[in-house]
Amino acid sequence: MNIRHYIGPEYLAVLAIGILGCLILGWLFYDSLGIGLLMTPCNIWVLRIYEKKKQEYRMRILLDEFKELLQILTANLKAGYSLEHAWITAEKDFRELHTGDSRMGMEAQKIVQKVALNIPIEQAVYEFGEEIGQEDILSFAEVLRTAKRSGGNLVHIIENTTTIIAEKIEIGQEIRIMLSGKRLEQRIMCGMPIFMLLYLRMGNPGYLDVLYHNVTGGMIMSGCMLGTVMASYWGSRIIRIEV
């Protein structure tokens, strides 16, 4: 794992929250902040999950922007432009629509720069698809490269690709909306054991003393914590549906 990748204000904030969470868990389940400190290496897993969620969000944004770029590209091709000229014009129009820090805008500009260096546009788009590693973009790049070499109908191919990507985005949004309620329920259910322990510790501090500082109680509390973690993990896997 590249530690430098996780150095930055955003990741340090996540790490701080994770360490605080470990201390709270150590206090709730074992009445020991020291055990909480021993659990802090688990924050590496937390950082990886956070990075994965962040990458998935970025990829959804990129795919949505790629769809917009293809729509502009299709309109330019229908107007009679060549593929190269259509892409250059689409890149300019797209950057005018997205004046902020757009990943797709920067990638489209890189392709324009490669075309200016006499690199075939189908190769430049294919290299972009390989670099991104997104399935739909890579499939489009492969189809575009094949169609350009064999003389296929580029307008029809790009229109079909745009339609497929748009449908996939719409289906993904519908699924996320449908599962948002279940996801909230899953988080509440997984958080209930912790909130119950917190309520008991705050409301009646001596009530759980029998479970602390002894082997039997430690095993019981470890089992409860492990069960809560596993329930959270499997719950998130069950409601995770990829289009």
Residues 6 or more apart in contact with residue 172 via CB below 8 angstroms: 60, 243
Which of the residue ranges 73-82, 129-138, 214-223 would you say has the lowest mean pLDDT? 129-138
Is 83 domain-assigned? yes
pLDDT band at residue 6 under the 50/70/90 scheme: low
pTM: 0.78
Contact of 53 with 74, CB cutoff 8 Å? no
Cα 225 to chain centroid, rounded: 27
Provide mean pLDDT across the span 142-160: 80
User: What is the tens place of the pLDDT at every residue in 189-198?
Assistant: 888 999 999 9
Is 213 domain-assigned? no
Provide mean pLDDT across the span 79-90: 89
Is 20 domain-assigned? no
The count of domains in the chain is 1
Alpha carbons 98 and 178: distance in angstroms, whole number: 29
What pLDDT does 227 receive?
92
Is 92 domain-assigned? yes
Is 96 domain-assigned? yes
- Domain of 98, in residue numbers: 61-171
Which of the pair, 50 or 240, is modelled with greater confidence?
Answer: 50
In this structure, what token pair is assigned to residue 179?
Answer: 């599962």
Residue 243 clears pLDDT 90, i.e. is over it: no
Place of tokens 């602390």: 212
Q: Measured between alpha carbons, how far is residue 105 from residues 78, 136, 210 in Å?
A: 22, 18, 61
Residue 140 clears pLDDT 90, i.e. is over it: no
pLDDT band at residue 153 under the 50/70/90 scheme: confident
Is 115 domain-assigned? yes
If you ran DSSP here, which 8-state letter would residue 78 be given? H
What is the percentage of the chain residues whose pLDDT exceeds 70? Answer: 95
Alpha carbons 172 and 157: distance in angstroms, whole number: 23
Is 222 domain-assigned? no
What pLDDT does 5 receive?
56
User: What is the tens place of the pLDDT at every residue in 22-78?
Assistant: 999 999 999 999 999 999 999 898 889 898 888 888 888 998 898 899 889 989 988
Mean pLDDT of the chain: 87
Is 143 domain-assigned? yes
Place of tokens 């805008």: 105
Residue 4 clears pLDDT 60, i.e. is over it: no
